[in-house]
Amino acid sequence: MNQQDTDRAATLCWVEIGPRRYPIYIGSGLLSETDLLRRHIPKQQAMIVSNTTVADLYVDKLTEALTDKQCDTVILPDGEQFKNLDTLNQIFDQLLKQKHHRGTVIIAFGGGVIGDMAGFAASCYQRGVPFIQVPTTLLAQVDASVGGKTAVNHALGKNMIGAFHQPLAVIIDTDTLNTLATREFNAGLAEVIKYGLIHDMDFFAWLEGNINKIIAKEAQALQTMIYHCCQIKADIVAADETEQGIRALLNLGHTFGHAFENGLGYGQWLHGEAVAAGMVVAAELSQDLGYIQAEDVARVKQLLQQCQLPIAAPAALSIETCMDLMSVDKKVMDHRLRLVLLKSMGQGFVTDTVDTTAVIKALQTCGLDKEE
């Protein structure tokens, strides 16, 4: 993490997946750089998909950049509980009412929920149209907007209906974080910490050293942090676009986290909050299996706590409920639960050989009880 890295962070990194390679632009004020958006909209139509929160604040900036095109907008309700097929259909309604053709470009303008839904709509509208990610939450900027995973939830499981569909470009204006609610911002930090844990202990240590600047939203610290997250994610996605191998590491904390989110009902805990608690379970399990030490787990918990993130599982859930919800996780294969654990700090690995009793023990350590 030298100065050269930091300068580069202010501009651009690439997701290198052959003919579908695409740029990630990171910087302050990018929403006002109209050419950035326009260069990725070659034809005459665009559809902005946004939510009530973001649209009020920023959507005019985007439409101003596209005044000579047919630029329509669909505003969806804000929140994970609306990430379903019914809301998705509102995007199709609007695309068809406004007669958008195969040459249209969909612009996902909002947080991870908007990115996932707009991206999935793009993947299946007329069997596939291009889209651009313009993420406005920290979570979306460091995670959801990069890598082409799109989806909606099903009542029986999160992200169960979706597609791999890579965007044409990702445009990250760090200024949007200034209006982001603190709870949302902190939830995004859970995914930031994840990158350190699975892939880059230097980055984890840098986060420990700079966490106060980050929480204070100091511009340069944010930019450096986001750049490093995007670079790590871009490298992992380029190596394994459709999650046949290494990409699964990005799911550290997610198998547990999805069960927490789903069990509590979407909208109770934010995704990042659930992932934070899930990472603590994964860390405890990693320690129990002898991979990392108690002081490592303590470091994980401390950094999460500094970000005001939960470090225990939601006590309202029973172990049985969690185990049942995890059994439909996408990472299950032939009835074996696949988990991401820590071989050491900064090195994640995937395993499907962990005993159920060890998983239950870790959930108990993190605050869950068995049913009476």
Can you give the binding site for a copy of itself, defined by CB under 8 A?
43-44, 85, 88-89, 92-93, 96-97, 99, 101-103, 120, 123-128, 149, 151, 154, 156-157, 159-164, 242, 327-328, 330, 332-335
Active site residue 218: no
Closer Cβ to a copy of itself, 247 or 301, answer by number: 247
Whose CA is closest to 258, among 269, 242, 247?
A: 269
Of the candidates 153, 186, 251, 262, the residue annotated as catalytic is: 251
Active site residue 183: no
Of the candidates 40, 83, 100, 149, the residue annotated as catalytic is: 149
Q: Cα(104)–Cα(19) distance, rounded to whole angstroms? A: 20
Checking 85-90 for CB contacts under 8 A at 24+ apart, the result is 85/152, 85/161, 87/117, 87/152, 88/117, 88/120, 88/121, 88/152
Answer positive or negative: Cα dihedral of 96, 100, 101, 107.
negative
CB of 229 to a copy of itself, least distance (A): 22
Of the candidates 80, 241, 243, 261, the residue annotated as catalytic is: 243
Closer Cβ to a copy of itself, 34 or 126, answer by number: 126
Active site residue 191: yes
Burial category of 173 from C-beta neighbours within 10 Å (exposed 0-12, middle 13-18, buried 19 and up)? buried
Whose CA is closest to 35, among 237, 137, 171?
A: 171
Q: H-helix or E-strand containing 109?
A: strand 105-110
At which residue do the structure tokens 């632009």 appear?
Answer: 25
Active site residue 338: no
Active site residue 258: yes
CB of 43 to a copy of itself, least distance (A): 6
Contacts of 21 (CB under 8 A, 6+ apart): 14, 15
Of the candidates 40, 165, 233, 338, the residue annotated as catalytic is: 233
Residue 135 CA neighbour count, 13 Å, CB half: 30
Closer Cβ to a copy of itself, 17 or 328, answer by number: 328
Of the candidates 100, 194, 271, 331, the residue annotated as catalytic is: 271
Please give the structure tokens belonging to residue 115: 């990115």
DSSP state at residue 144: I
Of the candidates 100, 194, 199, 258, the residue annotated as catalytic is: 258
CB of 354 to a copy of itself, least distance (A): 17
Residue 151 CA neighbour count, 13 Å, CB half: 14
Amino acid letter at 61? K
Active site residue 16: no
Closer Cβ to a copy of itself, 184 or 243, answer by number: 243
Closer Cβ to a copy of itself, 75 or 129, answer by number: 129
Active site residue 247: yes
Q: Which residues are registered as beta bridge partners of 333? A: 336
At which residue do the structure tokens 């787990």 appear?
Answer: 297
Of the candidates 254, 301, 331, 338, the residue annotated as catalytic is: 254
Q: Cα(57)–Cα(352) distance, rounded to whole angstroms? A: 45
DSSP state at residue 78: P
CB of 86 to a copy of itself, least distance (A): 8
Residue 181 neighbours by CB distance under 10 Å: 11
Amino acid letter at 98? Q
Active site residue 165: no
Closer Cβ to a copy of itself, 109 or 125, answer by number: 125
Instruction: Tell me the catalytic residues.
Output: 127, 149, 191, 233, 243, 247, 251, 254, 258, 271
